[in-house]
Structure 1
Amino acid sequence: MKINNLFKITCLSAGLVLVSCSDDDDTPGVQIDEPTNYVFERDGKSSVSYGGQTTRIAMAEEIIDAFKNSEKTEAILDNMFAHQEGANDFTGTGLNESSKSVRSKTAASKDYFSVNVGEASAIKEEFDTWIAGQANEVFPNWNTEATAGVAGFIQEAGGGSTRYVNAKGLEYNQAFAKSLIGALMADQALNNYLGKSVLDDANNVEDNNNGVVAEGKNYTTMEHKWDEAYGYLFGAAPDGAKPLASIGSGSNQKGDDSFLSKYLDRVNDDSDFTGIADDIYQAFKLGRAAIVAKEYTVRDEQAAIIREKISQVIAVRAVYYLQQGKNALDATTVDHATAFHDLSEGYGFIYSLQFTRKPNSDAPYLTRTQVQGLIGQLMGGTNGLWDVTPATLQAISEAIANEFNFTVAQAGS
């Protein structure tokens, strides 16, 4: 358990914590029955549900796979992104029958976009532009060797992986996938489902206090909203109750999806950030237990921890990929394919920074304007990544790290 500025949390026994709402040790605390794993029940049946998040993660996986298939058209990719119920867009079980889509929840959080629909539309259109670019710029040049100003393929040194880039060296598939981590997963978790405007909406507090469940369900609406935030991180885990089984256990672990789970694992595996996965998991678990106990101040403190830590994951990976790209460009023999691959991933993580959330605030660590400025530095030369310098990559890295509690050296290793 963590001791934070607002609470003293003492483990009394397995599954029971005492929370004191004051720094005065004489202040009586409240007891919260916290389970060992993310297991919550009502009347002997699970009250945890985040199936919609699992579905959207699965849809997103198929979309980014389709970016690698040059036989796909813009219309096919568009339809996958903005899926309509019953359309034959996916191969995964039940996905075509689902009424859910990835596009509808991209840049769609209540806290950030409910009154900022113009910005939300602009962000969705940027994702549409990456789809169009892949279909109309990259796919037609699948067998053309890329050079500055020419889209096509570029192969890593020594016969390594082949990368497919636009005329400025950007891999649209990486930009799309990594930007989705912020625009879908982080935005929905941090700025929608963990927000008071969603958790406490309408009669949610009264219903949770009185144990009134949603119609036809075994959970209160507040419980479900918290679970939905959990699902955007852990929704693809084979065992949602114990999702850390595939996170943070060394180089053989890769998380359970290509999005937040994967990169939480990568950051947790860095000795400078070891334990961050458990920090987030424990905060999710205690926050959910606090909802059951009707202790909403404790709930909100855990939401603040989750916001801070998930935001940090995104920032660390942004700096990491910028530094890896810098190293590749600094090498005696420049490997453009490796550099551009890293920098394309970095592009997406930089883009995702606008969806981060400072704890106890309603603001991201970097605003959309700041993010656009950093991307402008990265891609601003005539030929984009073909022109970017190691000095520029270092400057962008420092600008990001300065907003967080880590150094470029820590994140870049």
Structure 2
Amino acid sequence: MKEFSKLLILFLLVSSFSNNAIANSVYGPFPITLQGYTGDKTNSVKYTGQMARHILHDSLKSIVKTGDVEKMMAYYNGEEKLQILAPKSKDDFVIKQTMVSDVGSGNLSGKMYKGAIPGWGNLTGPEVIEHMINKAGEVSGGFDPDTGFDYTQLISKFAMGAVFYNQAANNYLGKKMEIGQKPNSKPYKEGAYYTGKEHSWDEAFGYWGSAAHGLSLTAEQSYNVTKRKDMASADYNSDGVVDLYNEYTFAHAYYASSYDKGGKTNYLATINQAFIDGRKIIADANGRNLNFDERTKLLNQRDIIRDNWQKVIAESVFKYAGSTYKDIVALETIIKANGDTSDAFRTYAKHWGELKGFALALQCGPENLGETAVKLNRMMGLGPVLLNASQVVGIDSNGNFIKDQAQDWNEFKLHMLKIQKLMVDEFGVIAKSKDQLSEMTALAGSMGNSDSAEND
């Protein structure tokens, strides 16, 4: 009998540990802690607007190639009665919602980074996106061969930074974490069932883009959820459909997964764990304002999130600088053989567009990148070097592009490698996808003086 009792106790302890482990790997539910709340809500977590914006972004990206400016602006502005264009069901990967409003409401236009973007003619964030959208409407398939601009990539990668990263890092984890801003002892807004700090933290998590159960997934599983290849991993509640609100991987959480599955980094789990740990600190305050110790611990989790999120974007800059370098090498080979450069140039433009978009996004965070941003913008240029040795160098007062003679290919190639080195030196990237740094010494040596290789 004693042995049975011991086994029973052991079973209960193991079961309790397992349940806690499972609970600790999911963002929510968290209890209602708002003092004086008398309603019937039991879960204080809500970030529907953020997930609606992810869907607006994915849908916008999917239609850039159509050139339909009115439709692009509808998704950018979050108009009513919009169908979900992306992500959509694929084979056995069945998505629950069909309308954006099934998830939540919101827009991208009102949440853009409002500062100037030196890397795109010094326009403001909203002006940059609208300029890109209008330019996409002037060309076929979202691509302009005369400038080398791939607007699908430029719009998408910049918007992820200018909306999601900006809002989370600068606003919800920045301004709204300050003392006196959105206090934990009061509702976030009149009539809300969650506190100011609870909802601010939740909204930042929403912008991050991870599935709520993302911490329970491997990086590869999380990656395959975005690719709509792993229904079992996505469908956390086993109801046969994927809920875009909390069972899908979006935006930078997807890119974190893509780097982590290489085995060198752990961005997704690190950020998700920090979000969960921070939310527990807020919940444990039980509706009162955080004391000094609690606030210090919360801001530590905040810093983990922001630092690693920045690294994910820097990893993306590193990756696409490497891809662009390889594309230039491929183009040089084709040109020497008098071959057809059409497909290779299109690939080069795509990768440069991704590089440019992520580089602009990196500059929308809480840290003034200063000289690093100047180097980054100058080395990649406003536009890519074109096959006729020209390059977009500016934007006039009417929004038209200004072109001039470009640097030579070797100089531009070296810039791509210097961008990779910059990401290592300034941000400490580790995954280093598409690493081409081993080519730097030989290339610089062949040019004689690598110090001059900066795009002024």
The two structures share one fold, judged by TM-score above 0.5: yes
Q: Is the 8 A contact 1:286 1:302 kept in 2?
A: yes
Match in the other structure for 2:11: none
TM-score by length of 1: 0.71
Match in the other structure for 2:363: 354
CA offset digits 1:162-216 (Å, max 9, x no partner): x833412120110010111210111111111001x313464643616xxx67543
Match in the other structure for 2:31: 41
CA distance in 1 between counterparts of 2:32 and 2:369 reads 36
Secondary structure at the aligned position of 1:42 is classed as coil
CA distance 1:47–1:399, shift in 2 (3 Å): same
Aligned-partner residue type, residue 130 of structure 1? M
Q: 1:262 aligns with which of 254, 264, 279?
A: 254
CA distance 1:349–1:328, shift in 2 (3 Å): same
Match in the other structure for 1:199: 177
**2:49 is equivalent to residue 52 of structure 1:** yes
CA distance 1:258–1:382, shift in 2 (3 Å): farther
Q: Is the 8 A contact 1:180 1:352 kept in 2?
A: yes
CA distance 1:242–1:249, shift in 2 (3 Å): closer
Match in the other structure for 2:131: 129
Match in the other structure for 1:78: 73
Match in the other structure for 1:224: 199
CA distance 1:172–1:213, shift in 2 (3 Å): closer
Aligned-partner residue type, residue 53 of structure 2? R
Within a 5 Å distance, the mapping from 1:265-304 to structure 2 comes to 265-273=257-265, 275-293=266-284, 294=290, 295-304=294-303
Which has more helix, going by share of residues?
2
CA distance 1:205–1:99, shift in 2 (3 Å): closer
Q: CA deviation at 1:80?
A: 2.5
CA distance in 2 between counterparts of 1:260 and 1:97 reads 19
Match in the other structure for 2:349: 340
**2:217 is equivalent to residue 245 of structure 1:** yes
CA distance in 2 between counterparts of 1:410 and 1:352 reads 18
Q: Is the 8 A contact 2:423 2:429 kept in 1?
A: no
**Runs of 4+ in structure 1 over 6 Å off:** 13-16
Q: Is the 8 A contact 1:189 1:229 kept in 2?
A: yes
CA distance 1:164–1:56, shift in 2 (3 Å): same
CA offset digits 1:47-90 (Å, max 9, x no partner): 111001011111111111110224x2x23322321234x46686
Secondary structure at the aligned position of 2:167 is classed as helix
Task: Tell me the percent identity.
Answer: 22
Q: CA deviation at 1:251?
A: 6.7
CA distance in 1 between counterparts of 2:185 and 2:223 reads 45
Q: Is the 8 A contact 1:168 1:386 kept in 2?
A: no
Within a 5 Å distance, the mapping from 1:5-404 to structure 2 comes to 35-39=24-28, 40-42=30-32, 45-70=42-67, 72=68, 74-84=69-79, 86=80, 92-95=98-101, 100-108=106-114, 122-136=124-138, 138-139=139-140, 142=141, 164-195=143-174, 197-200=175-178, 202=180, 204-205=182-183, 207=185, 214-234=189-209, 237=211, 240-242=212-214, 245=217, 247-249=219-221, 252-254=224-226, 256-257=248-249, 259-273=251-265, 275-293=266-284, 294=290, 295-331=294-330, 332-333=333-334, 335-357=344-366, 362-364=367-369, 369-376=374-381, 379=384, 382-383=390-391, 389-404=412-427
Q: CA deviation at 1:126?
A: 0.9
Q: 2:432 aligns with which of 406, 410, 413?
A: 410
Comparing 285-294 with 41-50, which one deviates more in the overlay?
41-50
Question: Structure 2, unaligned stretches of length 5 or more?
Answer: 1-16, 34-40, 86-97, 228-247, 285-289, 335-340, 393-405, 436-456
Secondary structure at the aligned position of 2:418 is classed as helix
Q: Is the 8 A contact 1:350 1:375 kept in 2?
A: no
Q: CA deviation at 1:307?
A: 0.6
Q: Is the 8 A contact 1:354 1:367 kept in 2?
A: no
CA distance in 1 between counterparts of 2:48 and 2:369 reads 27
Question: Structure 1, unaligned stretches of length 5 or more?
Answer: 1-12, 17-33, 114-118, 143-162
CA distance in 2 between counterparts of 1:258 and 1:318 reads 18
Q: CA deviation at 1:377?
A: 6.6
User: Larger Cα Rg: Structure 1 or Structure 2?
Assistant: 2
CA distance 1:206–1:120, shift in 2 (3 Å): farther
CA distance 1:246–1:105, shift in 2 (3 Å): farther
Equivalent residues, number: 338
Q: CA deviation at 1:252?
A: 3.9
Q: Is the 8 A contact 2:314 2:423 kept in 1?
A: yes
Q: Is the 8 A contact 2:56 2:100 kept in 1?
A: no
Secondary structure at the aligned position of 2:49 is classed as helix
CA distance 1:390–1:378, shift in 2 (3 Å): farther
Q: Is the 8 A contact 1:326 1:390 kept in 2?
A: yes
Aligned-partner residue type, residue 312 of structure 2? V
Secondary structure at the aligned position of 2:143 is classed as strand
Q: Is the 8 A contact 1:253 1:265 kept in 2?
A: no
